[in-house]
Amino acid sequence: MPFSYGYFKKEYAEHLFENFSIDIDILDVGAGCGTYGVLLKQDFKNIDAIEIYEPYRKQFDLDKVYRSVFIGDVKELNLFLYNYIIMGDVLEHMSVEDAQELLDKIHQNNIYCMVAIPYKMPQADVGGNKHERHLQDDLTHELFTDRYPMMQLLFMNEHYGYYVNYNYEHTI
Distance CA 87, CA 94 (A): 11
The whole-number pLDDT of residue 170 equals 47
Mean per-residue pLDDT for 42-53? 95
pTM score: 0.90
HSE of 99, CA atoms in CB hemisphere, 13 A: 25
CATH topology for 9-16+23-164 is: Rossmann fold (3.40.50)
CB contact at 8 A, 112 and 54: no
CB contact at 8 A, 88 and 114: yes
- Domain spans in the chain, listed from the N-terminal domain onward: 9-16+23-164
Q: Count other Cβ atoms within 10 Å, centred on residue 10.
A: 10
Q: Return the minimum-mean-pLDDT range out of 122-131, 140-149, 154-163.
A: 122-131
Asked if pLDDT for residue 2 goes beyond 60, the answer is: no
Q: What is the DSSP string of 102-134?
A: HHHHHHHTT-EEEEEEESS-----BTTBGGGS-
Per residue in 86-95, pLDDT tens?
999 999 989 9
Q: Count other Cβ atoms within 10 Å, centred on residue 65.
A: 21
Percent of the chain past pLDDT 90, that is, above it, reads: 79
Percent of the chain past pLDDT 70, that is, above it, reads: 95
Asked if pLDDT for residue 134 goes beyond 50, the answer is: yes
Distance CA 99, CA 56 (A): 22
Asked if pLDDT for residue 54 goes beyond 90, the answer is: yes
The whole-number pLDDT of residue 172 equals 42
The whole-number pLDDT of residue 128 equals 79
Asked if pLDDT for residue 137 goes beyond 80, the answer is: yes
CB contact at 8 A, 92 and 138: no
